[in-house]
Structure 1
Amino acid sequence: MASPLSPEQAEAYLDRISLPESAKALLREGPDGPRALEAVAQLQQHHMAAVPFENLDLHYSSHRSLPQQTESVYDTVVQRKRGGTCPQVHQLFCQLLRVFGFAVYCTGGRLNAPASPAAAMDVDRSTVAYGPLIHVATLLVIQGRRHLVDTNVGPSASPSPVPLVHDQPAVDIWPRRRRMIYDTLPATSSSSSDGKWWRLQIQEPADAPGWMDVCCFTETEWMPVDFAIMVSGIGQLGAGWFQSLVVCFRLILEDGSPVGHLLMLHDEVRRYYKGKLAVVQKLYNEEERATLLRDEFGVELSAEERKNIRGTVGELKDLDHDFYA
């Protein structure tokens, strides 16, 4: 399938995420290059570090919507240097890979509640509670094998392509490990089906006795209209925290390798770094949040956008807090 992105737009995209020239050269060799998988891994990691998973348009825009059209999402990500939600960013990332000849498509998925960006830090990771189809999985085919490439879900996402091979653990963000399993969903997930799903799991710390489910999906390709219906359903029915909490997430790279992540969840900033998770900042008003978004995520909210959140459930209202005290 051809991509609607032009070669010039693709190059601007790569510059937007600061992809090194060496990685660009590997990517241009396409899926038949000897280091194609490495090229996609570098692309994925730089993308996750530069293009945040965020729902800011639901809180700071006047339209309160999540546009899906390639041209609109491209403008948001590349020209405005913003991020987006998984239906938006995954579909755009697919179009980028197609420019370089990769066979890639998207499908719908379910998220496990304890792996959600909004989950409490002390959540019981042994719980399996899958919700509706509100996630997106990008499936990439290299040398005849499918891989999960998840650029946009939050802290539990793997920063590297994960082969769809049953029970093959590998290092994820050190010291965390990840694996795929192909199995039915546990009864605790409210599913009674005996159908099998691909389930991404992480183990943290690496010597922990159990694994935590992150997401599950099948290999059925979804069309753009399927995602439009999904997004419309989220807008009509809601999706828990997504429309009430402001969230922004990015990967942390050091020397080109993933070492952790940074998550802004409503009024606090969580930092996972080399195996340690901590709350590093509390936010008390919109001025602090806007400064944090600019300095840590590269997102510059205009004065008009900052006005749009006033009076909504997502607004931070403690205007009298003295954060210098």
Structure 2
Amino acid sequence: MLQMNPTPSYYSDDQLAEYLKHISLPSAVNDELSVDNAEAIIQHHITTIPFENTEMHYTIRGQIDIDPQVVYDRIVKEKKGGTICHGQHMLLLGMLLKLGYRGYNVMARMNRTGGDPNVINLTGLEHQLILMQIPGDENTYFVDIGIGLGVTRPVPLTVGYEFDGLAPQKYRFAQGVHPDSPLTGKEAEEWRLLTNLDVKSNPLPDPGWMTYFQFSTQPYYLKDIVDFNWLSHNRPDAVLPKKIYVFIFTGKMAGEARGVKAIFENRVMSRTAGGVMEIVKVFGSEEERIAMLKETFGIECAADSKACIAGRPSAIIAEKE
């Protein structure tokens, strides 16, 4: 059983208050530390703050800064948009710690199967998530808001535990050993998040599950994550610098249908709880995409953004009449 100590937050009381206001969280949620209240925070966060990598494409620098204060200023103070998984979890973790929850960041290896559910082909450490505890509760909870899982609550980190993402997606926890590990036995085992759908969101054949990513309970700190963030920008096989990815979840209020709105490259996509991803619009120009980023996702692009993206792989090349 993990034993987490209380950890000071890098955010102030005033910053916490502004964050809770930004995500429109009812004040009663702050009355006690509980799974239900943590779920409310996560639900309001993912339906207010988009996952997005536009700073990689629409700025001269082409970099996303994940320093907690920079992330706070962009998202909460200046209301310019969102960030990628590293910044998302830095912001959420800091606010949870300020409220009195306990937790820390861990890193995960994605499983690049090439479409074969029986393959374990793990990347280097590239995805970030949170492990969290609640004082007085013996459970350790898994929290992941940065990769589009659609998991809106803290999930008990227990072997065999199954839970829902955005329907029809389901997940399950298991344990396994890295294929290249020199270790054997329990010491070699790490956590695996399994999913019931393939890379094209089709149901898997029996036994019906494949590894989505693998992670340990090893804590990672800000300096570590800054390095991982640099790799997400500069590794030869890095995906985020090549394409624009934006998504935000819908269904903030209890009883509302859950779904997701997204921009993938030059397309606006929408997915309902039924699991069907529909193309809503195809952009014909950068002006259209920049306008949609502001209108639908609240993402502010600078005046020179069109010039900054010109010549990059992610740029939209308008057809000549």
TM-score category (smaller protein): 0.7 to 0.9
In the other structure, the counterpart of 2:124 is: 132
Change in 2 beyond 3 A, CA 1:125/1:37: same
* Contact 2:50–2:83 (8 Å) recurs in 1: yes
Superposition map of 1:121-270 within 5 A:
127-142=119-134, 143-154=137-148, 156-185=149-178, 194=184, 195-204=188-197, 209=206, 210-253=208-251, 255-256=253-254, 259-270=258-269
Partners of 1:42 and 1:208 lie apart in 2 by 35
Partners of 2:72 and 2:82 lie apart in 1 by 10
Partners of 1:254 and 1:161 lie apart in 2 by 16
Deviation at 1:192, TM superposition (A): 7.3
> Structure 1 counterpart of 2:100, which letter?
G
Cα offsets for 1:183-239 (capped at 9, x unmatched): 224x5xx77765222112232578974123322211011111111121223334244
Partners of 1:260 and 1:193 lie apart in 2 by 42
% identical aligned pairs: 24
Structure 1: segments with no counterpart, 5+ residues: 31-35
Q: Name the SS of the counterpart of 1:2 in structure 2.
A: coil
> Structure 2 counterpart of 1:301, which letter?
C
In the other structure, the counterpart of 1:107 is: 106
Change in 2 beyond 3 A, CA 1:169/1:261: same
* Contact 1:157–1:214 (8 Å) recurs in 2: no
Partners of 2:150 and 2:111 lie apart in 1 by 12
In the other structure, the counterpart of 1:33 is: none
Cα offsets for 1:151-202 (capped at 9, x unmatched): 1112x352221211001213333343222112224x5xx7776522211223
Structure 2: segments with no counterpart, 5+ residues: 1-6
Q: Name the SS of the counterpart of 1:243 in structure 2.
A: coil
Q: Does 1:310 align with 2:304?
A: no
* Contact 2:150–2:165 (8 Å) recurs in 1: no
Return the match for 1:25 from 22, 28, 47: 28
> Structure 1 counterpart of 2:14, which letter?
E
* Length-normalised TM-score, structure 2: 0.85
Deviation at 1:300, TM superposition (A): 2.5
Cα offsets for 1:42-95 (capped at 9, x unmatched): 111211111111111111122211212211110111123211111112112111
Structure with bigger helix share is: 1
Q: Name the SS of the counterpart of 1:249 in structure 2.
A: strand
Partners of 1:137 and 1:266 lie apart in 2 by 25
Q: Does 1:8 align with 2:44?
A: no
Partners of 2:220 and 2:252 lie apart in 1 by 35
Cα offsets for 1:15-40 (capped at 9, x unmatched): 21222x1xx3233423xxxxx10111
Partners of 2:237 and 2:273 lie apart in 1 by 31
Partners of 1:202 and 1:274 lie apart in 2 by 17
Partners of 2:116 and 2:284 lie apart in 1 by 28
Partners of 1:55 and 1:126 lie apart in 2 by 31
